[in-house]
Amino acid sequence: MKKTDKTNPTGSDAKQQDLNLNKSDASDQFLTTNQGVKINDNNNSLKAGERGPSLLEDFILREKITHFDHERIPERIVHARGSAAHGYFELYKSLEQYTKAEFLNDTSIKTPVFVRFSTVAGSRGSTDLARDVRGFSVKFYTQQGNYDLVGNNMPVFFIQDAMKFPDLIHAVKPEPHNEMPQAASAHDTFWDFISLMPESMHMIMWAMSDRAIPRSLRMMEGFGVHTFRFINSNNESHFVKFHWKPKLGTHAVVWDEAQKISGKNSDFHRQDLWEAIETGNFPEWELGVQIIPEADEHNFEFDLLDPTKLVPEELVPVTIIGRMVLDKNPDNFFAETEQVAFHPGHVVPGIDFTNDPLLQGRLFSYTDTQLSRLGSPNFHEIPINRTVAPMHNNQRDGHMRQEVNTGRVAYHPNSLGGGCPFQAKIDEGGFVSFNERIDAQKVRERSTSFADHFSQATLFYNSQTPVEQNHIIKALRFELGKVETTAIRERTLGLLSKVDKTLAEKVAKGLGSTVPSTLEKPINHGVGADANDNQEPTTVKQSLESSDALSMLKNKTLSNTIATRQVAFLCADGVSAASVNAMKTALEAAGAQAKIVAPHLGTITAEEGDTIVVDQSYQIAASVLFDAVFVPAGEGILTLMDIPEVPEFINDSFKHCKFIAAEGEGTDILSITNAKVKDHNADEGVLTSEKKGEKNFAGTFIKMMGKHRFWEREKLV
């Protein structure tokens, strides 16, 4: 029998080879660049010394990130789902001794800002309530040029080196063979990556905490993540960490609630931000800084350049320096929210970078990304990106150029244009990078000071209240319960045991598994892998056992205000207008919003004959869209017993630890719920009064609502 010539096939063999031409199988193969060069180290960018800056000549890093930046057109690869608003920043006190940035020196300046909030993993059409990191990016339009503080609602990140960023996002995105799941980390590829990256464990604690499911964009903190530098007029350097503290406090929903909100209103956060601004309830944050003298760089139990570490506020207090108010919604979503281009490399004199290897990679990546997404090097001319400071340089032409440059000179130096535009001296506001001494060999290595992957993860977990710790355990059970590969779950449990053994055991119990006694090392090959990838993680004893600032329920940003909280009034024809109006007046005086929910839209008639306008019907309303519930008095309110959505509404409110109030006949409605809500009292977050108009009833309810949730009720449910 004649053998088939595989080098020159014909017929069906030729067709099959044609179909297979672009398929690749990486099994038992070495990592290579796109040019076929074998990669010795895929975890570390090329640096000038192990703690030095990343080098532009790192062709492997540039190729990897360039390809990653251009994978999606035109949607952002990460942070695609966003909401934004205009506002202003005001400085409380001058920071002249630390920085020469003018907007941080002059308290009379009101600096315009544009702020974009976002989820990270999902596409533009995904839900607002995914469990995810939230982007928190602020563009300051200063008189010295644009300054972008591009951060998140968590102060640390998953990885230490930008070389791993494409890998992280590829892992968390929908799996490429079936494009599932959307906007979710609860799947095999994400946890496969995490289980092999011990450096991620601190961020995992944050991502599995309630910080990942905020009640509102207006109720979350923001962080610059990286350590930056302040440079003053004497060219003196201080390290700086940035913090945004919300006026309304830090609040979250629970996971069951988040999933239901996604079904009822996937635009929940976007709508909440928009409506708050439209109704004049302008969101507000205070800007704080942690300032660290250059001489103290190595005085901590962690490395300031490590983006998986934070500086505890007990070690370096946050100094509040100003406030930001968002007071105007965009006029056009695409022109502003979608086309805004942030970049951590957009700095002004007085603010500079450090050698954080994740930040160093971002300084290249963001410009490259904008070139792909916005299609032109002229993205700075789009109105939302355009600086308010004069802009003069010798750049010309390019796709979608809008600036009409006159004259024949487009180069420097020149004499034909009178030498213009001139270079600016330092005292004329010219930007000069900090004169940091660099004396090192080119290496692909990571400093041993980055090797402690568990201490701050433990610190975070220990800092949480029992309620918050329980939420982390439940989140991990949910996420790992979606993982189909047993080995991935076991590796992750092993890493969790290094954070807290009890935590790991409780998660394992929920998975029907056990905690492994040893950690499995990553599968790697090559000299680079042996030298760097398998660097043994260490644990450094911390001087702090816990930090209140890391707990949402204990930290100083917890606010007792009920401003902008949404309260559902469960009503029907025959409700008592006096009962409705008394509670509504008291709540609105405290800044909350009362919404009338009834069997139908339009109006209902009160027992006194008054007409009450209905905001939502029971068919479209849901408990998860409100912060608290009130059932007023009135004979007609008893008809709610025949509406199936009503007990479900109250049951969910009780389950999600929200405060509930009822008076008069309204208390009877609480008795038809599964939880027999009527049997609970004010000490359990349920306020009732058998009679209408009881003195201080509304005031007591408002005081209860100030706690946001009655978390102790979780023990009862």
Backbone phi, psi, residue 175, to 5°: -65, 135
Which residue range is the domain that position 621 belongs to?
A: 566-715
Whether residue 343 sits in one domain with residue 216:
yes
CATH of the domain at 372: 2.40.180.10
Burial class (CB in 10 A: 0-12, 13-18, 19+), 36: exposed
**Arithmetic mean of pLDDT, 566-576:** 97
Q: How many Cβ atoms are within 10 Å of 554's Cβ, its own excluded?
A: 15
**Per-residue confidence band for 529, with pLDDT thresholds at 50, 70 and 90:** very low
Q: Say which range, 231-245, 333-347, 352-366, 419-433, has the weakest mean pLDDT.
A: 419-433
pLDDT above 90 as % of the chain: 72
Does 42 reside within a domain? no
Q: Is residue 434 part of a domain?
A: no
Burial environment of residue 109 by CB neighbours within 10 A (0 to 12, 13 to 18, 19 or more): middle
Tokens of 380: 């700075």
In a domain, 438, yes or no: no
3 state SS of 450: helix
Is residue 315 one of the residues assigned to a domain? Answer: yes
The predicted model gives 252-277 an average pLDDT of 97
What's the pLDDT at 425? Answer: 86
Q: Which of 472, 436, 482, 487 lies closest to 229 in space, CA to CA?
A: 436
Whether residue 464 lies inside any domain: the answer is yes
For the segment 509-533, the average pLDDT, to the nearest whole number, is: 69
Q: Which amino acid is at 382?
A: I
Q: Based on the number of CB atoms within 10 Å of its own CB, is 484 exposed (0-12), middle (13-18) or buried (19 or more)? A: exposed
For position 5, what pLDDT does the model report? 42
State both tokens at 646: 């009503």
Q: What is the mean pLDDT of the chain?
A: 91
In this prediction the pTM is: 0.90
Q: 371 and 265 in one domain?
A: yes
> Would 239 be classed as within a structural domain?
yes
The type of residue at 254 is: V
Q: Does residue 64 surpass a pLDDT of 60?
A: yes
Specify the pLDDT at position 72. 63
* Position 558 confidence tier, pLDDT thresholds 50, 70, 90: low
Same domain assignment for residues 616 and 649? yes
- Distance, CA of 404 to CA of 393 (rounded, Å): 12
Range of 437-451, 553-567, 592-606 with top mean pLDDT = 592-606
Which tens digits make up the pLDDT trace of 488-500? 999 999 999 999 9
Please list the active-site residues: 79, 152
Q: How far apart are CA 390 and CA 402, in angstroms?
A: 15
pLDDT digits (tens, 9 = 90+) for 88-119: 999 999 999 999 999 999 999 999 999 999 99
Is the pLDDT at 70 greater than 80, yes or no? no
Q: Comparing 49-58, 338-347, 464-473, which segment has the lowest mean pLDDT?
A: 49-58
In whole angstroms, how large is the CA radius of gyration of the chain? 28
pLDDT at 527: 38
d(CA 93, CA 106): 8
Residue 516 is assigned to a structural domain of this protein: yes
CATH of the domain at 502: 1.20.1370.20
CA distances from 586 to 172, 653, 698 (A): 46, 21, 6
The count of other CB atoms within 10 Å of the CB of residue 66 is 17
CA distances from residue 17 to 4, 5, 9, 11, 25 in whole angstroms, order as listed = 13, 12, 8, 10, 14
